Amino acid sequence: MHARWVLGCMAAWLAAAVVAAGQVPTAQEVLRNAGVSRGIGVVAGDAEARLAIDLARKSDLTLLVLVPDGPNAARACQAAYQAGLYGTRVFVDRLRNGRIGLADNLADVVVLVGQQVGGGVWPAKGEVLRVLRPKGVVLAG
């Protein structure tokens, strides 16, 4: 059973829709490519929470925004608060030691935007797979 789960997650990782390098996808692109409109989503690298706010407005997703440091966290929190979504549909956390603050197999979609792992914005592949539910989707670019 464990081997099938790992293979399913790897397939989801490999089959992930990839957006153009350096470009932040729109909420419509994420929803279309992910094939989900409700559940739990993670957005890493969205320092101002724009994508997460737009996703929350256009879907029934509850979103966790991951940012690399305190100043980015403050900006993302402020933006979500001004949109009236902070603490209800949009949550913000710092990416500490590459860990995502969610339980195993929980996220329906993980969206990775901006810089890659070396820039400290994206969690490691293994961590993404840990929080991604079976048949969940990763969008990276």
Q: How far apart are CA 106 and CA 52, in angstroms?
A: 17
Domains of the chain: residue spans and CATH: 2-140 (3.40.50.150)
Q: Would the pLDDT of 41 be above 60?
A: yes
Amino acid at 88: T
Under the banding of pLDDT at 50, 70 and 90, the label for residue 116 is low
Under the banding of pLDDT at 50, 70 and 90, the label for residue 122 is confident
C-alpha distances in angstroms, 41 versus 45, 69, 112? Answer: 13, 20, 11
Torsion of CA 43, 46, 50, 51, to 10 degrees: -40
Q: How far apart are CA 75 and CA 50, in angstroms?
A: 10
Q: Would the pLDDT of 107 be above 60?
A: yes
Res 119: pLDDT = 52
Beta carbons within 8 Å of 85's beta carbon, 6+ residues apart = 53, 56, 57
Question: How much of the chain, in percent, has pLDDT values that exceed 70?
Answer: 79
- C-alpha count within 13 angstroms, C-beta hemisphere, residue 97: 1
SS3 2: helix
Amino acid at 110: V
> Which of 108, 40, 113, 52 has its CA nearest to residue 81?
52
Which tens digits make up the pLDDT trace of 20-29? 445 678 999 9
